[in-house]
Structure 1
Amino acid sequence: MKFKLLFILFLLINCEAILFAQFENSNNSVQFEVVEDDFKTPDGMELPAIKLPSIIKSKNPLRMNDYSGLGLEESELLDITHKDNFLDLKTNEAPKYFTKDKKIAEEFGRDQYLGELRTGSLNVTIMYRDHEYVDGDRVRIYVNGDIVKSSVYLSAGFNGFTFLLQPGFNKVEFQALNQGSSGPNTAELRIFNDEGDVISANQWNLTTGRKAMVTIIKE
C-alpha cells in the first residue's frame, strides 16, 4: 500500500515539473524587433537605411482612410454653355423652334404662284422645309398633275426629291394639308439644277387646301 502511494506522489511531482517547464518556455519565446539600421555590404561600404513611404496617406489621422471612390472614373462636369442650336448666348434672337408663325393674312387664303424658271438641265432637285415655327405642317406634292408625295412633314431641316424634266413645260404644286398648330402652312423652297446650283429660292404661306405652284421650262 505504501508503495502505491509513493508511486502516485512521484507521478504528481513529475507532471508539475513538466507543466512548469512548458510555461517558462512560452514566456521566453523569441521575438524580433523591427529596427531601421544601416546595412554593410561585403566590401565594407554602408548603405543607408531605406524608409518606405506610406502608399496612402490619411487626410485626418483620427479617421480611417476613405476608399469608397477607389477605382471609380471621375465624372465629367456638365458644360451648360455648349451651343446646341436651341439657345444662342450671344444674341437676343429666339430660335425658330420658339418663333410663332405669321398671322393669317387674307392673301394666304388664295393659291400662290411662285414664278417661272427656264433651264437646260436634265433634272432638278426640289428642297423644302418649315421656315417658321415648326408646328407639324404637312403638304402634298404634285408634278405635272401626278402625286409624287402624298403627305410630307415639314421639319426644320431641308428634305426633297429629284425628278427628270420633260421637254417644255413642267408644273410643280405644293398643297397645304393642314396649318399645324400655329398660323398658316409655311415653307421655304429651293430648286437646284443638275449641277447643284440654286435656280430658285422662295417661300409660301398657305391656309389648308390651298396650293403654291412653280413652273419649270426645259429649254
Structure 2
Amino acid sequence: MVFGLFLTYYQIPMKIYLLTFFLFCSIIGVNAQIDSENRSIAIPAENVDDPLEDDEIIIQPVKKNDEKTEKEDDVKETLSKEEQMSIAKRKEFSMVHDDKLRNPAELFGKQLKNALQLREDEYREEGRKVNQFFGKYLTKSKYQDVSLRDFGAEDGDLVRIWVNGTVVNSRVALANANKKFTLTLEPGENVVEFEALNQGTSGPNTAAFAVFEKTTGNMLLNSKWNLLTGVRGTFTVVLLPQDLPEEGDKE
C-alpha cells in the first residue's frame, strides 16, 4: 500500500511498477536458490570395529635371518664375476706379504732359508779329499753373521772353526736346525776355515752355510760342503776402509 501511494504521488507508470516488482521477486528467488545449494550434506558415519577390543590379535616377530639371506642373495646376483673376484683379492690383501714392510730380522730369516736350500742330487755327492775354497769377498762391515746346519741326516757331524789361523770354536756339533755365530773382522784379509773333525754315522761331513753383513743384512755368500775327515772348507773376507766404495764385492 505504501509502495502504491509512492507510485501515485510521483506519477510512476504502471509498466515501470510491474517491471520493478518482477525484478525484485527474481532477485529474491535467486538468493534463496543459492542459500539452498550452500547447505551442508550430512554423511552418515560408518561403524568401524575398535582393534583394541579384539582379543585375538597375533603379532609375529620379523625373521631377520631370512631377510638378511635374501638381501645377500640379491647382492650376489647383481655383482658380476669380475667384481666378486676383485672383492676376494682385496680381502686376501695382507701387509705381511710385502717384503718392503718387513723388519730386517724377518728378511734375514727368509734369505737364509732360500740360501740353504739344496738340490736332491747334492745329497749324493762323495766327500772331498782336498780343501775346498768358496771365494774371496769385500765388505765394509766389521761384523759378519754366519749360519750353518747339517743338510743331510743329523748324524753327529763335528767341525772346528778357524779365523786367520786361530781356533775360534774348537767343536761345533752340526744339526738340521741352524746354528749362528758372529765373526769380528780385522782390517784387510780374514781367512775363515771350517775343518771336518769326523764324518758322522752316514758320512761324509755335510753342511750348508751362509754369511751376512750384520749391519746391513746383505748376504756375502751361501754354499755347502761335503768333506772327509780332516779336510777344510775355506773363504776369505776383506774388510775395506770406510772411504772405499762397494760392500760385498767378490774378487
Partner of 1:198: 219
Letter of the structure 2 residue corresponding to residue 199 of structure 1: L
Partner of 2:199: 179
Partner of 2:103: none
Name stretches of at least 5 consecutive residues in structure 1 with no aligned partner.
Answer: 1-95
| 1:104 lines up with 2:119 in the alignment | no
User: CA 1:159 to 1:140, structure 2 compared with 1: closer, same or farther past 3 Å?
Assistant: same
- Give distance in 2, aligned partners of 1:173 and 1:163: 12
Letter of the structure 2 residue corresponding to residue 157 of structure 1: A
Larger relative helix fraction: 2
| 1:150 lines up with 2:170 in the alignment | yes
Q: Which moved more, 1:191-200 or 1:146-155?
A: 191-200
Whether contact under 8 Å (2:154, 2:176) holds in the other structure is yes
Whether contact under 8 Å (2:198, 2:230) holds in the other structure is yes
- Please report how far the alpha carbon of residue 170 of structure 1 lies from its aligned counterpart in structure 2 after TM superposition: 0.2
Q: What TM-score do you get using the length of structure 1 for normalisation? A: 0.52
| 1:122 lines up with 2:136 in the alignment | no
Q: What TM-score do you get using the length of structure 2 for normalisation? A: 0.45
- Give distance in 1, aligned partners of 2:125 and 2:154: 15
Name stretches of at least 5 consecutive residues in structure 2 with no aligned partner.
Answer: 1-117, 241-251
- The number of residues matched between the two structures is 120
Q: Percent identity of the aligned residues?
A: 39
- Please report how far the alpha carbon of residue 199 of structure 1 lies from its aligned counterpart in structure 2 after TM superposition: 1.4
User: CA 1:103 to 1:124, structure 2 compared with 1: closer, same or farther past 3 Å?
Assistant: closer
- C-alpha deviations, 1:31-70, integer Å up to 9, x for none? xxxxxxxxxxxxxxxxxxxxxxxxxxxxxxxxxxxxxxxx
- Please report how far the alpha carbon of residue 126 of structure 1 lies from its aligned counterpart in structure 2 after TM superposition: 1.2
- Give distance in 1, aligned partners of 2:226 and 2:191: 19
SS in structure 2 of the partner of residue 160 of structure 1: strand
Match of 2:231 among 210, 213, 219: 210
- Give distance in 2, aligned partners of 1:182 and 1:101: 11
Larger relative strand fraction: 1
Computing the radius of gyration from Cα coordinates, the structure with the larger value is 2
Letter of the structure 1 residue corresponding to residue 195 of structure 2: Q
- Please report how far the alpha carbon of residue 216 of structure 1 lies from its aligned counterpart in structure 2 after TM superposition: 0.3
